[in-house]
Amino acid sequence: MQAQLIALDWGTSSLRAYKLGPAGVVLEQRALAFGIMHLPSEPRDIAGVQCSDGFELAFDAACGDWLDAQPYLPVIACGMVGSAQGWSEAAYRNTPIDVASLGQALHCVRSLRGVQVHIVPGVIEQVGLPNVMRGEETQVLGVLHNIGADVLIGLPGSHSKWVEVVQGRITHFDTFMTGELFAVLSKHSILGRTQQISEHFQAEAFDRGVQVALSKDGERGVLSTLFSARTLGLTAELAPDQQPDYLSGLLIGHELAGLPASSKSKPIVLVGTAPLCARYQRALALCGFTQVSLAQEATERGLWQLAVAAGLTQPATEARHA
């Protein structure tokens, strides 16, 4: 099957490359540790030029051989590659925004190979405290491709996003630094001193953490309940290998408690790694959210839809008759 598009999900710590065929089917994919903060530095020849630019080197490592075989394949990229610290800055677009319209606002950077890399702009919300996303907007579009109803999309991770979509438009989103805070507390605070990593998920401890966040104690906020991750260990109520999952449940519970009460009446779609989404599904059930599903391949689908909207490739029906 002939490729029609190269799609890149280029974040802070990793670079994922997809070679997509008709209708966006994934023909081949790669994952490299060349996020924008971890670029290669060993100079090498690219298109007859000795190159030491990290972005060019990473781009060539990700898909240079694909372009050798098909030099005119269009390329689209989303994520932190379009940030101020990225390859070339793609300006934010303001909410509310029709996600599909981002395909008409792609920012281009020309690579050494002469290939135009089309970068998806991020989204900014400037009502109250400003909030931004890069990459998640593409996943949102990938989810919406198969969903017609208004929906709340959860994207758990280092900086978890909760995106409200009404009639195909991002109307509001929130960011919770849950994953990063968990890592910082476990590695660099006193809470990590008594923790032991468990080989198995400690479900009971995780559930207890969620329930504490939802309890009257939790109403005083996460700064009040965090210390319980230590004191429950000191009083032998939590074993060392239960403490990490308790802390995880506590932080996720506080995150979910911060969602609007109206969210419980909306369908929720989770996008992320399977183990992390499983934690969120479990916590959402404890919080009373009943309409929860998982989305697969949201990034690839979203990049394909944006490429179609930009005219970089053909929709499935046209591709079949081309």
Closest CA to 39 of 74, 14, 70: 14
92 is written with which tokens?
């934010």
164 is written with which tokens?
């409200």
Closest CA to 62 of 80, 84, 46: 46
* 31 three-state secondary structure: strand
CB 119 within 8 A of CB 109: yes
Domain-wise residue ranges, the chain: 5-135+298-310, 175-295
Which CATH superfamily does the domain covering 5-135+298-310 fall into? 2-keto-3-deoxy-galactonokinase, substrate binding domain (3.30.420.300)
How far apart are the C-alpha atoms of 44 and 198, rounded to whole Å? Answer: 43
Length of the chain: 322
Strand 292-294 and strand 268-270: pairing? parallel
CA atoms within 13 A on the CB side of 126: 5
Report, as an integer, the average pLDDT of 203-207.
98
In the predicted structure, residue 289 carries a pLDDT above the cut 60 = yes
Mean pLDDT (the chain) is 94
9-44 residue pLDDT tens:
999 999 999 999 999 999 999 999 999 999 999 999
CA 194 to the chain's CA centroid = 31
54-104 residue pLDDT tens:
999 999 999 999 999 999 999 999 999 999 999 999 999 999 999 889 999
User: Is the pLDDT higher at 60 or at 265?
Assistant: 60
Q: Give the architecture (CATH level 2) of 175-295.
A: 2-Layer Sandwich (3.30)
* Least-confidence region, from 116-130, 160-174, 257-271, 288-302: 257-271
DSSP letter for 313, please: S
pLDDT for the residue 314: 84
pLDDT for the residue 99: 86
Q: Where are the beta strands (DSSP E) in 47-180?
A: 49-51, 75-78, 93-94, 97-98, 107-110, 116-119, 123-125, 131-133, 151-155, 160-166, 169-176
pLDDT for the residue 178: 97
How far apart are the C-alpha atoms of 11 and 32, rounded to whole Å? Answer: 11
pLDDT for the residue 317: 53
Report, as an integer, the average pLDDT of 149-154.
91
